[in-house]
Amino acid sequence: MTDFVFETTPKLVCEAGAAARLGEMAKALGIRRALIVTDAGLVAAGLLEPVQAGFAAAGSACVLFSDVLADPPEASVALAVQAARDAGADGVIGFGGGSSLDTAKLVALLAGTPQDLPDIYGIGLAKGPRLPLIQVPTTAGTGSEVTPIAIVTTPTSEKKGVVSSLLYPDLAVLDARLTLGLPPRVTAMTGIDAMVHAIEAYTTRHKKNPLSDSLALRALSLLGANIRTVIEDGRNVAARAAMLQGSLLAGIAFANAPVGAVHALAYPLGGHFHVPHGLSNALVLLPVLEFNRPAAETLYAELAPAILPGRSFATPAEAAVGFIGAMRDLVAAMPMEQRLEEVGVRREDLPMLAADAMKVQRLLINNPREVSYDDALAIYGQAY
């Protein structure tokens, strides 16, 4: 038997329309004045109106902080923390994509227990307690609602993470109706992001465990079976719900069996070129899969049935090749950029990206195959 420790968000609500009941859910957690951390686009789209009405009906107050920025910089997090203090918030709700959810985690922590953000980058350095926290994803991708990680962009454009069990929320609410308006490009980027979480959790070198393995396989199956449907028919509630649940399961998996080189090489793309995180993952995914194949062939063979149900292969080697080929076809079919040069990266930038990727040892140590600077440079070259 494998020895392991497994943690996750203590309560999940997966229900179309559930966001309208956030007021009563917050009240049950003792929240009387919530800071809702979100972005201006979701406010403009009207997604917060039912939430605000629900708070009024529950006799509770909510204040919006809608200035979340993508790849949240330290200064943006500080503004959100100050907004919570100014509002006298006794609880925090993250409402949006990964940037909003990550910011909300840090607001709940830093508004409740003042700490200097740079001092808690790394694993297990944060101190509690924190304010009550609810997370509501509006994309099916990051799985941030069930992870103990918040990623921040430093003033030097480096992405750093705060990793602590304190960042698990008290409640995650998955409402598929919130994702119906996602455009195909965002749907594609976030969907591939979730698939990468499942793949890297299953193939991680450290903390791989049977629970994460089961969740990753189911996540990959749900995501692979539904991503094309939601690209073609974004109003399909059942397919949107399946994507949200796939993202959730992948998030739980990689929260306990951490990701590797795909994410490590994706981070510099977000930090320097502001490439959305899911797209950054997609751009480097295939060359990383090929690089890892000598060390992860058996694991890729085990993942193949989740992407290619009903297909049989003569050998694990053949199944691994089939798996990588299926992922290549899927990424190529997505309505998003396919090469680094399409997102503003110049060939002369590749050495800088490779050097920055090597700083992400927190993730590189989990990769099934050791990655050197020259390896990273070659992978970026293949993605270019």
Domains and CATH numbers, the chain: 12-179 (3.40.50.1970), 184-383 (1.20.1090.10)
Candidates 177, 195, 198, 186; CA nearest to 240 is: 177
Query: What DSSP character marks residue 103?
Result: H
Candidates 266, 288, 284, 285; CA nearest to 275 is: 266
> What's this model's pTM, rounded to 2 decimal places?
0.96
CB 6 within 8 A of CB 209: yes
Candidates 331, 330, 308, 276; CA nearest to 139 is: 276
Instruction: Give the bridge partners for 150, in sequence order.
Output: 162
Using DSSP bridges, classify how beta strands 33-37 and 133-137 pair: parallel, antiparallel or unpaired: unpaired
| DSSP of 245-270 | HHHHHHHHHHHHS---HHHHHHHHHH
Strand ranges, E, within the chain: 12-14, 33-37, 61-65, 91-96, 122-123, 133-137, 149-153, 159-163, 171-174
Residue with tokens 């539904």: 226
* Per-residue tens of pLDDT for the chain, all 384 residues: 689 999 999 999 999 999 999 999 999 999 999 999 999 999 999 999 999 999 999 999 999 999 999 989 999 999 999 999 999 999 999 999 999 999 999 999 999 898 999 999 999 999 999 999 999 999 999 999 999 999 999 999 889 999 999 999 999 999 999 999 999 999 999 999 999 999 999 999 999 999 999 999 999 999 999 999 999 999 999 999 999 999 999 999 999 999 999 999 999 999 999 999 999 999 999 999 999 999 999 999 999 999 999 999 999 999 999 999 999 999 999 999 999 999 999 999 999 999 999 999 999 999 999 999 999 999 999 999
